Amino acid sequence: AQHNVVINAAKEAGNHVMLAEGRGILDPSLTETGRLQAGCLRESIGRLGVALDVVVTSPMVRALETTDIAFRGTQVLILATSLHTETGIKVEGDDVAGQNCQKGSSADSQMAKFPSIDFTHVEQEGNWISDENEEAYFHPLTAEERLEPFRDWLQSLPFENILIIGHSGFFKRFLTQDVKMGNCEIIERSL
């Protein structure tokens, strides 16, 4: 089946001081502005006129909150996977990779907060591992190392119209773009 993908970036950009402070927060929530943007996303998705078969979201709380706001009360299937998170391990030349804002919470804690989302694709034994304190969770590979596995995973899904909610840094690489997506921006592609 042809896979039509709609991609959405799920975070709110702030001023540089807030951004620097936010990088130290483990798995930060959406700000009030981010919540408003997620509400606007719900309206934008409605205007697309596309019957979505599935939503794929990151297990990071800001993506989960965006997904929850945009799809609360709907019957669409929502799958979480860590394949399209930002890089949670340190990478030379990348000041943000490995910081707390790039790491998430355990799948168990996220399942309790977001019971309508299917977390079976977030495996804490392999692709969503914890740091030595078992507080911060992240995918053990860099974003670059996950580009093809994510594309392959999407193509293996038995759905035609897929909406992906995730992170602009990953999507910039995945879509081979020069600039990051805007907050709650929608881009349509075929795989």
pLDDT digits (tens, 9 = 90+) for 22-76: 566 767 788 888 899 999 998 998 888 888 999 999 998 989 999 999 999 999 9
**pTM of the model as a whole:** 0.85
Contact 105, 96 (CB under 8 A): no
Closest to 87 (Cα-Cα) out of 125, 144, 131: 144
**Could you give the 3-state DSSP secondary structure of residue 163?**
strand
Backbone angles phi, psi at 4, to 5 degrees: -100, 120
Q: pLDDT tens digits for 179-188?
A: 888 888 888 8
With vertex at residue 190, the alpha carbon angle to CA 188 and CA 191, rounded to the nearest 5 degrees, is 130
Q: Hey, where are the domains in the chain? A: 4-190
Class in CATH terms, 4-190: alpha beta
Q: Token pair for residue 88?
A: 């949670």
